[in-house]
Structure 1
Amino acid sequence: MNTNSGFNAQAVSEHIIAWLKDYATNARMKGFVVGISGGIDSAVTSTLCAETGLPTLCVEMPIHQAKNQVDRAQEHIKALKGRYSNVSEAVVDLTPVFTTFQGQVPSSDDDFINNLALANTRARLRMTTLYYMAGLNHALVAGTGNKVEDFGVGFYTKYGDGGVDLSPIADLMKSEVRELGRYLQVPQSIIEAKPTDGLFGDDRTDEDQLGATYEELEWAMTEDEKGSKMEDFTGREKEVFAIYKGLNTANQHKMNPIPVCKIPKNLK
């Protein structure tokens, strides 16, 4: 499953940086706010924002967070602040907010459903926090989703990490984000870390939840865009293609515009 291509990290980086700067200038906004998770996507996004020279606020928002995720986030922010004078940081501990919320709402008898609802709540609390910080700083919330997550399998929370003002890396595959990370000198510990959404308070990875690696899903997304069918594959390829198609179908509600009920003119 080879998804490699002639990726020009320098040219792509320069293109995104110019796009970010132009967008902020045209929107008459001062800079960017980025939620930092300790993962490669938020590290690359925040570095690209910092490269614009505009004020870039990196926000940590732990909620019962695993120590290794917190450590990587802090390592990245420290390195970024050392390289860019326009980068600042804020830490908003949302654990007590989340705990209070959890104590005030009913729970389901189905542990899976209950845990998923709470995981999505974590993402939505973080979105609320980022927009609050953006409001204080007259800034834009920069999304950290990549192409496979945002347009392939829909691996994000609607109105959570999917609630952003602009998406600088959403046309890049995960492997391309990693290449960009190497070019932008993101800490090696982050580049090598197994991707995780960090929404469940444990060490489960994205692969654990998706049933396939990002490299496999990139391949499946490419094959789907070429018009390939399930019967074209066997073995693991067929299994991965089925996983991709299933997630892509189930999560169309995230990727499509909100449906509007159009009222016939004769009823108005």
Structure 2
Amino acid sequence: MQTEKVIDHIVNWLKEYAANAKMDGFVLGISGGIDSALTSSLCAKTGLRTLCVELPIHQHPNQVTRAQEHIAQLKQRFANVTDVQVDLTPVFEEFKNQIPPTQDDSFLDLSLANTRARLRMTTLYFFAGLHRYLVAGTGNKVEDFGVGFFTKYGDGGVDLSPIADLLKSEVYELARALDVPESILNAAPTDGLFGDSRTDEDQIGASYDELEWAMKMQDEGKVATDFEGRKRQVFEIYYRLNRANQHKMKPIPVCTIPPSLKK
């Protein structure tokens, strides 16, 4: 990959989109992970105002530390970068106090994890509306179009997606070129939505390198029976998640009314 040219391409795309939308800059959540670190660096390079927002909800301390390290570094390098922290923990706890008890809590943890993501999205759009900013998405290609590893109307609720055509390995390549802190480059990817130390690989059952391989194999028309052992297991994980999460990747279905019924 022509790293520097890809960086310039994304930065120019961001500037052109903001100009056409007549907006003044970008806002995004900073998690302490590689994707938000890369996206914020790319937004910062546009020279347009870039607001980095920390949105902790019972966040693991090392995630907060990495996020703060990255934001401090960005502010040193780019005069157009500002930051704010909004602790959503009390909001989340009050939400839990207000919802009725559930008889079946099989999906309670997942539902609450997605609620965290949606509270963050709501907060980002508050700042976007306040300052005439665009909400920049931080999803990569494997997450957004491979396994659908994001929350619909949570981290999937954005105005534009600068890195959604980059595989995870390509995200790391660009992040290194943009001097993202080593602490972030070396951290295990995690969505940070469960208040513990579980990683993306723990949740998915496969690493991003494995998922990239499976994505490529599917694009080449391969099926699970073409493989054995771990490769078959990984392909089946990828295929299952890809099928199950198509509702996240496709446009909202519209029930079209036949013209004859409107007469």
Name the TM-score, length of structure 1 as normaliser.
0.97
Q: Which residue of 2 aligns with 1:23?
A: 17
State how many pairs are aligned. Answer: 262
Question: Conserved in 2, the CA contact under 8 Å of 1:38 and 1:190?
Answer: yes
Q: 1:159 aligns to what SS in structure 2?
A: coil
Separation of aligned partners in 2, 1:265 and 1:47: 50
**Partner of residue 81 from structure 1, selected from 75, 81, 85:** 75
**Partner of residue 113 from structure 2, selected from 113, 119, 125:** 119
Question: Conserved in 2, the CA contact under 8 Å of 1:154 and 1:247?
Answer: yes
Letter in 2 for 1:59: V
**Partner of residue 171 from structure 1, selected from 165, 171, 191:** 165
Separation of aligned partners in 2, 1:49 and 1:133: 16
Q: Which residue of 1 aligns with 2:149?
A: 155
Q: Which residue of 1 aligns with 2:2?
A: 8
Q: 2:31 aligns to what SS in structure 1?
A: coil
**Partner of residue 94 from structure 1, selected from 78, 88, 95:** 88
Letter in 1 for 2:184: I
Instruction: Provide Cα deviations, 1:125-170, integer angstroms capped at 9, x if missing partner.
Output: 0000000001111000000000000000000000000000000000
How much has 1:47 moved relative to structure 2? 0.2
Separation of aligned partners in 2, 1:62 and 1:236: 36
Identical aligned residues as a percent: 68
Question: Conserved in 2, the CA contact under 8 Å of 1:195 and 1:206?
Answer: yes
How much has 1:109 moved relative to structure 2? 4.0
Q: Which residue of 2 aligns with 1:3?
A: none
Q: Which residue of 2 aligns with 1:219?
A: 213
Q: Which residue of 1 aligns with 2:233?
A: 239
How much has 1:106 moved relative to structure 2? 2.0
Instruction: Provide Cα deviations, 1:166-188, integer angstroms capped at 9, x if missing partner.
Output: 00000000010001000000001
How much has 1:250 moved relative to structure 2? 0.3
Separation of aligned partners in 1, 2:77 and 2:117: 29
Q: 2:134 aligns to what SS in structure 1?
A: strand
Unaligned runs of 5+ in 1: 1-6
CA RMSD of the aligned region, Å?
Answer: 0.7
Query: 4+ residue runs of structure 1 moved beyond 6 angstroms?
Result: none
Q: Which residue of 1 aligns with 2:256?
A: 262
Letter in 1 for 2:47: G
Separation of aligned partners in 2, 1:38 and 1:111: 30
How much has 1:231 moved relative to structure 2? 1.4
Question: Conserved in 2, the CA contact under 8 Å of 1:30 and 1:55?
Answer: yes
User: Given the alignment of the two structures, is residue 60 of structure 1 paired with residue 65 of structure 2, yes or no?
Assistant: no
How much has 1:107 moved relative to structure 2? 3.7
How much has 1:110 moved relative to structure 2? 3.9
How much has 1:34 moved relative to structure 2? 1.0
Q: 1:241 aligns to what SS in structure 2?
A: helix
How much has 1:111 moved relative to structure 2? 3.8
Separation of aligned partners in 1, 2:253 and 2:44: 36
Unaligned runs of 5+ in 2: none
How much has 1:29 moved relative to structure 2? 0.3
